[in-house]
Structure 1
């Protein structure tokens, strides 16, 4: 089986409720659907969610990188030639989301050709994941209502609360209110998206001492080298790295440099191949991980769950898999469902992605 062409389809689906956070806002899923075609008729599929304020990628740049830079060296390869494919793509620096989508589409092809799920190929630990929900910036009452809605309608009991606003008291009040509304049994952690300084971060953590947070994620900028180390040294909570760890090498830098004590893995930026390397590295270093969310639609959330369910280390903690619930529509022919706080993987070969072509035709932007 050989790759014959790679298709990039930009599309846009509005969110019913925008997600606000320290580094930006997402009002619609303006993503790129990536399809890798083969001479045997099999098509590998994945999603590329551009985040220009985080990785510098846009819909146009993702399509250009794949079509103009990657595809000429990938056409003619077997989907099994993943190391050769990555060697070619890595001649171009950056572009993590574009590379990740191609990688996952190749894994999808391997699973489809063998008639087994990619989650089984990766590790096969379980067929489900507990779900964590991200709560974006809003008025405190609205943030509380969002958490209660997800708990009451979908059984979700783990929540990431976006922080990083000024004054910091806005976020302190919101976290206290969410804890009060959900009670002590809910799992809560915070994500600053690099919005605070190290000093502000520590002051907020002290103020939140009684909330019972599990950990805090990416509170201050990645280039604040000394400030991040200082925060880890003085924090009573684990500090997780996210946007600052887009490669295994960056994971090594942040952990061994004392700037992080945990890692968020996002398949949208490291695919399955590099995510596996990040996970193995973290296990070797004794570092805990969480499966993060790139504000994915259902295709991206399915990819996250596929990887997360494959390993004991990632399946043991809820993955951020629910923000597609705030999209007005999606592309999957059989929508994902979250029940009792759990997302079940579809029992199909590959990743299990089946695109509703009518929906794709409605939302695609290249026609």
Structure 2
């Protein structure tokens, strides 16, 4: 079964509540839906979230690299030759989310062809994941009200607090208000999106040491090498690499050189194939991982669920799976549901990424 065509469809869906954080803000899901068509008529689907302030990709650049670079090179390859497909895409540097989408769409084709759920083909460890919800920049009391609402409505009890603001008191106060209002049983962690220096991050850790935070993600720019290594060495909680570990090589570098001791796995930027390699490396080195969020739609989120539930190592921690709730609409044909703080893996063959064609026709911008 050979790849016959690769389709890249730009679309836009507004957010009900924009998400603000240290490296930018998101008001609309200006994403690209990627479809891999085979000569047997099977179609695989994935979602691509451009993040120009993180990876340099835009909606237009993703469409261009799909049409002008990847499609001419990949058409004619067998969909089961995954490593060959990976090798072809690796010749083009960067373009992480574009590569990730092609890989997920190929896995979707494979699952449909074999009549098996992709999560079982990857590992089949469990049928659901605990959910963590991201809280963006807001006054502390508003953040607490939102967290309590999500706990009451969806059973979510793990929250990521977006930080990296100045003055530092804004984020320190927010963390303290959340801990006091949610109680000791709630799981809390922070993500500064490279917004602080290493010294500022150390001060925040000192002033929040009694809050029982799980870890701190990307406290500073990883290129602040000496400060970052000093921070990781002295931190009482793990320091997670996210933007600084977008692929297997970068993840290995950050762990081996002391830039982090926890890894975020995002299928939107690594697909399933490279993400599985990162998970295997981390498990072998005794490094914990968690499933991160690329501010994904439901199409992107279901891919994260499918992958995260496949491995024991990725299923240990709550996964960031709920920010699609801030969107006004979505494309997924079978909408996700969060019950008891968990999302279940969809049943049926493939990756569960099939879309509602009427909604796609409405929101596409090409």
TM score, norm. by length of structure 2: 0.99
> What displacement does 1:346 show?
1.0
The equivalent of 1:34 in structure 2 is: 34
The Cα shift of 1:78 comes to 1.3
How does 1:116-195 map onto structure 2 within 5 Å? 116-195=116-195
Distance in 2 (CA, whole Å) between partners of 1:165 and 1:67 is 39
- Partners of 1:65 and 1:90 in 2: CA distance: 13
Q: Which residue of 2 aligns with 1:201?
A: 201
- CA distance in 1 between counterparts of 2:249 and 2:214 reads 26
Distance 1:363 1:178 in 2: 36
Structure 1 counterpart SS, 2:7: strand
Aligned to 1:2: 2
Q: Write the deviation string for residues 183-208 of structure 1: whole angstroms up to 9, x where unpaired.
A: 11100000000000000000001111
- Corresponding residue for 2:211? 211
Instruction: Output the CA distance in 2 between the equivalents of 1:81 and 1:57.
Output: 26
Deviations along 1:157-188, one digit per CA (max 9) or x if unpaired, are 00110010000100000011111111111000
2: CA distance between counterparts of 1:209 and 1:222?
22
Give the corresponding residue for 2:347: 347
Gaps of 5+ in 2: none
Report the counterpart of residue 79 of structure 1 in structure 2: 79
Distance in 2 (alpha carbons) for counterparts of 1:102 and 1:311:
21
Query: Structure 1 regions of 5+ residues with no counterpart?
Result: none
Whole-Å separation in 1 of the counterparts to 2:92 and 2:332: 31
The structural deviation recorded for 1:354 is: 2.2
The question of 1:284 aligning with 2:284 is answered yes
Once residues 94 and 353 of structure 2 are traced to their aligned partners in structure 1, the CA distance between those partners, rounded to angstroms, is: 27
- Per the alignment, residue 258 of structure 1 pairs with 258
Partner Cα distance (1:211, 1:152) in 2:
22
Corresponding residue for residue 88 of structure 2: 88
1:210 aligned counterpart, secondary structure: coil
Deviations 1:272-322 (A, max 9, x none): 000001001101111000100000000110000111000011111110000
After TM superposition, what 4+ stretches of structure 1 lie above 4 angstroms from structure 2?
none
The Cα of 1:246 is off from its aligned counterpart by: 1.1
Once residues 247 and 346 of structure 1 are traced to their aligned partners in structure 2, the CA distance between those partners, rounded to angstroms, is 27
Aligned equivalents of 1:108 and 1:78: distance in 2? Answer: 14
SS in 2 for 1:89: helix
Superposition CA RMSD, Å? 0.7
**Matches of 2:277 and 2:192, distance apart in 1:** 26
SS of aligned partner of 1:13: strand
Counterpart Cα distance in 1 of 2:316 and 2:260: 20
CA separation in 2, counterparts of 1:60 and 1:337? 31
Q: Residue in 2 aligned with 1:232? A: 232
Shift of 1:352: 1.2
| d(CA) in 1 for partners of 2:42, 2:142 | 45
